[in-house]
């Protein structure tokens, strides 16, 4: 019985052109042993080659009905996860970064993705470059607005307790901030709603 080390040496000597007789003499093993090893190697190689050349059996085809059932389960699972995230948001819990990513991806996929818009346009037979460009831009606006809404949600959760503690209307502050941005106002004292000025000052100085 050849050891692993002897087999490795036989392989190395064969690769270097050493004859079986020389291998037998140098390793002090019989020629019969060397030939037996070579025969076993050859037989193993043939088996492996045959296994490799065997044609793989085709995978069973999934019926259309089964595929639809799989798709329906996947969609149902997505919607269930989305519902859980909505419930978590409504209960005032903070979403993890992974949950927030999944939430946004789901909303983009099911509510306002460009793919869905393009598909709808193709179905209606109005696939024109100008209209697709317009729809793409609208889609970008919707996505940005959605991201802004999510940011506002967390902004509210972060600062609303402070506003309540100081009897400040959080929504009014946000509305004034948005108005100042739209109007190009850089100084909050320029806001025409003077009765809100003290509240805004208090937030800015906090």
Domain boundaries, the chain: 4-49, 166-206
Q: Which fold has domain 4-49?
A: Arc Repressor Mutant, subunit A (1.10.10)
What DSSP line would sit under 101-169, residue for residue?
HHHHHHHHHHTS-HHHHHHHHHHTT---HHHHHHHHHHHHHHHHHHHHHHHHHHHHHHHHHHHHHTT--
159 or 67, which is more confident: 159
52 or 32, which is more confident: 32
173 or 118, which is more confident: 173
**pTM, 2 dp:** 0.29
Does the pLDDT of residue 191 top 50, yes or no?
no
Confidence of residue 133 (pLDDT cuts 50, 70, 90): low
Return all residues near 106 (Cβ < 8 A) that are at least 6 apart: 78, 81, 82
Does the pLDDT of residue 54 top 70, yes or no?
no
What is residue 191's three-state secondary structure? coil
Does the pLDDT of residue 23 top 50, yes or no?
yes
Query: Nearest 5°: CA angle at 116, between 78 and 136?
Result: 125
What average pLDDT does this structure show over 38-64? 59
Confidence of residue 76 (pLDDT cuts 50, 70, 90): confident
The percentage of the chain sitting over the pLDDT mark of 70, rounded to a whole number, equals: 44
Average of per-residue pLDDT values in the chain: 66
């Amino acid at each position: 019985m050849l050891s692993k080390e002897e087999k490795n040496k036989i392989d190395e000597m064969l690769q270097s052109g050493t004859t079986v007789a020389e291998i037998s003499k140098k390793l002090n093993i019989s020629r019969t042993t060397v030939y037996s090893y070579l025969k076993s190697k050859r037989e193993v190689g043939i088996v492996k080659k045959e296994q490799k050349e065997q044609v793989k059996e085709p995978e069973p085809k999934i019926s259309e009905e089964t595929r639809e059932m799989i798709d329906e389960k996947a969609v149902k699972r997505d919607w269930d996860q989305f519902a859980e995230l909505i419930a978590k948001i409504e209960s005032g819990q903070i979403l993890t970064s992974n949950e927030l990513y999944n939430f946004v991806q789901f909303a983009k996929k099911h509510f306002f993705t460009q793919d869905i818009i393009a598909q709808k346009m193709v179905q209606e037979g109005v696939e024109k470059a100008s209209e697709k460009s317009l729809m793409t831009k609208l889609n970008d606006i919707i996505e940005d607005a959605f991201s802004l809404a999510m940011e506002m949600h967390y902004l509210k959760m972060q600062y609303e307790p402070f506003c309540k503690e100081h009897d400040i209307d959080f929504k009014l502050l946000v509305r004034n901030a948005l108005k100042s941005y739209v109007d190009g106002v850089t100084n909050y004292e320029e806001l025409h709603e003077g009765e809100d000025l003290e509240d805004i000052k208090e937030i800015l100085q906090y």
